[in-house]
A and B are shown apart, each in its own frame.
Chain A
Amino acid sequence: MSLASAGKRVTIQSCACGLKKLSSNGFTVQKIVSAIVSDIGSVLLGKERQVKLSLACLLSKGHLLIEDLPGMGKTTLAHALAQVLGLSYKRVQFTSDMLPADILGVSIFDRESSQFHFHEGPVFSQVLLADEINRSSPKTQSALLEAMEERQVSIDGETRALPQPFFVIATQNPLQQSGTFALPESQLDRFLMRISLGYPSREAERALYLGADPRQQLAVLKARINVATLSKMQSLVGQVKTSDSLLDYLERLVLQTRQSPDCAVGLSPRGALALLRAAKAWTLIHNRSHVLPEDIQAVFPAVAGHRLQRDGSHGEQLVERLLRQVDVIAA
């Protein structure tokens, strides 16, 4: 339906044109993203939003923290992501008696060659699922977190680079559960996003009952892209543009976290940068070239929630309130 009247050449169609499509060398982000999302969606039903968020987290070279009760599909999500993206995948189950060497690797003396041989730990993989990270002692936690930040590990005085890309998906049980060590704020900050999956919807659950075993389905998932494409997509994130108006909104939002009496501490500049990077990745996933306020709003709970939370509460209400308080349009 056109609203154009005689003499006026303005039509809804002409203004409703989408933002420019991002494409590069024969592949379109749109196609890849929809393939990945639908593939993962076939194993993790009804969690499209979380899948997209974790994809965005991966594209913006951040690490992901999934916080939820056991059995909600955290491992399935991590595994499916690694499969679909064609990345090597290792899983470590964290326990309270784990040592850093269990993650990083250890040098063992080989009698035959009379030499020390380094046996790589599980950290030497492209996707590392650190399951129940908060069940291990802080010492072990920090060994992993160090590796996440530096993307390299130093063992026996030798610095070893981790594979590229290096993506940690850590899961943690809700803090109220027994046998957990809470991650300190400084280490929570290492995770770009924290998401929770939540119970599936009724339809999704019904489909789950009816469908095949997710474990088997995981096995048949094929890689949609290779590492080269992934790194190209990661570089595309940096090309997503932001306008002054959008940065104004971001500024106001960050300022609100610092000024609001609800927040114990505001968002740090690193947090603000993380927010912007995640929003760009989200924009890329949605195949636009310019970040919209919606993009920031979409990633804000995942990026800011764990950075702003207080007293172990899940900060969701706080984040929603902040989003409601800050006007998208400058007043």
Chain B
Amino acid sequence: MVSSKELLPRESLLWIFAAQFVALLPQFTQLPLWVAFAWAFAVYWRLEVFRGRRDLPGRTLRLAVIVLTITGLALSYRHWFALEPMIALLAISFTLKNLELVSRRDAFVSLLLAYFVSATLFVQEQTIPYALYGLLCVWVITAALAAQLGSSSARPRRALGISVRLLAQATPLMVLLFLALPRLGPLWSVPQDTSAGRTGVSDSMAPGDFTELSKSTKPTLRISFDGPIPPPEQRYWRGLVYSEFDGRTWRQGFGVDPHNGGRVYWKTGERLLPQMGPRYRYQVIQEASRSPWLFALAQPASETQGVGETADDRLVKRTPVYSRFAYEVRSWPRETLQAPVSLSNAERRLNLQLPSFGNNRTREWMASLRNQGLSAESVSTQLLAHFNSAFTYTLKPPALGADSVDEFLFASQQGFCEHFAGSYVFAMRAAGIPARVVAGYQGGEWVSGEEYLLVREYDAHAWAEIWFDGRGWQRVDPTAAVAPERVRNGLESAAGEEFLQESFFPLHRIGVLSKLRLKWDMINYRWYQTVVSFDADRQQNYLRRLLGEVSPLRMALLFAVPTLIILLGIGLWIARSANGRKLPPAERLYQRFCQRMARVGVRRRPGEAPQDYARRIASEKPQLADYANAVTAAFEQAAYGGDSSAQKTLRKLLRWHFWLRRTATDSRELVGL
């Protein structure tokens, strides 16, 4: 092995750069572009050093580069104490290490750091492609490490081969650690950069928002049921409640938004749960949305850590959903519960709020209805009948002016769910009936024989809830009055031609591809279920299933038994290979003969051939001459003459002698024979 003081050869350098590139590639897409340039520059400089055209940068230059990059980071990121700037700092330090890559030791530091850098990949996502890419990183980095051992191991095929073998050997340990290593919760959490765009339903609703969502096929929720499954027309996944309207945009408003006075019950049992058991139990796996809203059927309760229930029957997460998040939900449909007695004054005020001016035509129409003394149900029915009479459900509604509700209700009469829900709630409030807009997702698609329900972005939906005295909040979906197939069969059947029209490749039209996509989603789902979401709880469950009870002794056994088996295997293997080939049977038998003769007093010398030995035995112990000759002849036949029957004879001779030795008190008795 080359000494660590020696300069790095060309192959080593190239391998290190390859490993760095593989580890940094995903970061380049996330980090500011100049980080990639900095890396390329450092690599270029180092190669120039290798060619002898340049020196490694001196102390002053290095200091200047460090100051420069830190300034660059400071300018690129506003908030310092967040995950992304930290990753950027790591990446840039890793990059600059190239400028002092001199000895083998530096190479090892750089490559070990490369493992760490490649692990930051999983901060972004933990899906299968990312996991595969992580494997690729580990493969290349390990190969680069192997290539440092010498020029013969630096050949690509050989280095990658060594790497594969090392990784294969490490796999059992990895599986063991994955299953058994205690999972600690995060000791501290670094806030993630929130500047990046949120996806999914947002905390406000303006005309056109949902139209945008309808263009995206990204999966959002995956819901698997434990027990009964709600019928399609009941699958309203509530996420947000909008109570405040400013004439154009619906917002949550004070007292509804958890960040703005809304009450959230974080602890289990803080809120009184219904006495009876829940009708639906399910697990929701939600994709990263960068907002805290969770989605569940009314009225939900969850015991998952960090999930709280709001007073208006929603679930929220304490921190925004930055990566896939799974939560268990129990739901009691409202009709199965006892109706709440009354609405508090504050709530009533909140859900009757209207802007002080605008949309006068609607207000007048509603005022006339109210003056007729109609009940809430009949007002709602009239309004829905109005929708049903002439309205069109379309993904491309015309633009609306200042009095958006008036224009929609009486002029354009074309719209999407947000138009229907918004104008419906506006009208109901104008009629003096407490109402609110609820946003979330509706419907979903079964994957792999009802294993789970896949909800995509285009399933985003807005609907209304109105308050009936004595019956509580009731869901009303005005869209269903116009396009009932939207609720029953999903957006695709309701929007028809318009569905995903703007997508460049209308892949959804190709049945095979749709099926493949569902299949892929299912693989992803299983991956998440089995690997990514293997947290402390699941680990405990798994270990309990495996061990019966999780005790230190049993854990130690779980670790020790496979380790011992592996070590034993290695030990045996080493012992076998150290012994070389096994001694042929004839030679083994002859060795036994030699041992016996040695006991009698004639020890065979190492270089002594069997016949010479037999002659010596004959001269030193004449009484054993015949026996020695017989054994020698049989041995020579067996070992050198290729005669297998001689081996039997040899064995018999030795056994026979053994038998004689036992019966005879003294070996001298042999003489008598």
Q: A259 → chain B, closest Cβ, in Å?
A: 15
The reply to whether the CB of B180 lies closer than 8 angstroms to some CB of chain A is no
Q: How many A-B residue pairs have CB under 8 A?
A: 93
B586 cross-chain contacts in A, Cβ below 8 A: 245
Do residues A8 and B611 form an inter-chain contact, with CB atoms below 8 A?
Answer: no
Do residues B642 and A292 form an inter-chain contact, with CB atoms below 8 A?
Answer: no
Given contacts A243-B639, A244-B584, whether A15 and B609 have CB atoms under 8 Å apart is no
Contact of B584 among A17, A19, A245 (CB under 8 A): A245
Measured CB to CB, the nearest residue on chain A to B657 is A3
Measured CB to CB, the nearest residue on chain A to B673 is A3
Do residues B594 and A16 form an inter-chain contact, with CB atoms below 8 A?
Answer: no
Do residues A15 and B649 form an inter-chain contact, with CB atoms below 8 A?
Answer: yes
For residues 563 through 611 of chain B, which have their beta carbon under 8 Å from a beta carbon of chain A?
A: 583-584, 586-587, 590-591, 594, 604-611
CA distance A14 to B652 in the complex (A): 13
CA distance A244 to B641 in the complex (A): 10
Do residues A290 and B642 form an inter-chain contact, with CB atoms below 8 A?
Answer: yes
Do residues A12 and B642 form an inter-chain contact, with CB atoms below 8 A?
Answer: no
The reply to whether the CB of A92 lies closer than 8 angstroms to some CB of chain B is no
The reply to whether the CB of A210 lies closer than 8 angstroms to some CB of chain B is no
B587 cross-chain contacts in A, Cβ below 8 A: 245, 329-330
The reply to whether the CB of A25 lies closer than 8 angstroms to some CB of chain B is no
A289 cross-chain contacts in B, Cβ below 8 A: 641
B584 cross-chain contacts in A, Cβ below 8 A: 244-245, 330
CA distance A12 to B628 in the complex (A): 10
Q: A251 → chain B, closest Cβ, in Å?
A: 11
A291 cross-chain contacts in B, Cβ below 8 A: 640
For residues 176 through 191 of chain B, which have their beta carbon under 8 Å from a beta carbon of chain A?
A: none
Contact of B640 among A15, A20, A290, A324 (CB under 8 A): A290
Do residues B605 and A3 form an inter-chain contact, with CB atoms below 8 A?
Answer: no
Do residues B594 and A15 form an inter-chain contact, with CB atoms below 8 A?
Answer: no
For residues 214 through 251 of chain A, which have their beta carbon under 8 Å from a beta carbon of chain B?
A: 241-246
Do residues B629 and A327 form an inter-chain contact, with CB atoms below 8 A?
Answer: no
Contact of B636 among A20, A292, A297 (CB under 8 A): A292
Q: A158 → chain B, closest Cβ, in Å?
A: 48
Secondary structure dominating the interface of B? helix
B640 cross-chain contacts in A, Cβ below 8 A: 242-243, 245-246, 290-293
For residues 288 through 331 of chain A, which have their beta carbon under 8 Å from a beta carbon of chain B?
A: 289-294, 297, 323-330
Given contacts A10-B652, A15-B653, whether A3 and B627 have CB atoms under 8 Å apart is yes
B55 cross-chain contacts in A, Cβ below 8 A: none
Of A15, A17, A325, most buried by chain B (CB within 10 Å of CB) is A15
Measured CB to CB, the nearest residue on chain A to B612 is A294
The reply to whether the CB of A212 lies closer than 8 angstroms to some CB of chain B is no
Do residues B629 and A328 form an inter-chain contact, with CB atoms below 8 A?
Answer: no
Do residues B583 and A330 form an inter-chain contact, with CB atoms below 8 A?
Answer: yes
Measured CB to CB, the nearest residue on chain B to A8 is B656
Measured CB to CB, the nearest residue on chain A to B580 is A330
The reply to whether the CB of B73 lies closer than 8 angstroms to some CB of chain A is no
Binary B-proximity of A184-211 (CB < 8 A = 1, otherwise 0) = 0000000000000000000000000000
The reply to whether the CB of A1 lies closer than 8 angstroms to some CB of chain B is yes
B246 cross-chain contacts in A, Cβ below 8 A: none
The reply to whether the CB of A113 lies closer than 8 angstroms to some CB of chain B is no
A245 cross-chain contacts in B, Cβ below 8 A: 584, 586-587, 639-640
CA distance A328 to B594 in the complex (A): 12
B612 cross-chain contacts in A, Cβ below 8 A: 294
Contact of A293 among B610, B626, B642 (CB under 8 A): B610
CA distance A329 to B637 in the complex (A): 14
Q: List 18 A-B contacts (CB under 8 A).
A: A3-B626, A8-B652, A12-B629, A12-B630, A16-B629, A19-B637, A19-B641, A242-B640, A289-B641, A290-B642, A292-B636, A293-B609, A293-B610, A294-B609, A294-B612, A324-B607, A327-B606, A330-B587
Q: Which residues of A contact B (CB under 8 A)?
A: 1, 3, 5, 8, 10, 12, 14-17, 19-20, 241-246, 289-294, 297, 323-330
Nearest 10 Cβ contacts at the A-B interface: A324-B607, A327-B606, A245-B639, A294-B609, A293-B609, A12-B630, A290-B641, A15-B634, A16-B633, A243-B640
Taking A289-B641, A327-B606 as known contacts, 4 extra A-B pairs with beta carbons closer than 8 A to each other, sorted by chain A number, are A245-B639, A292-B611, A294-B609, A328-B609
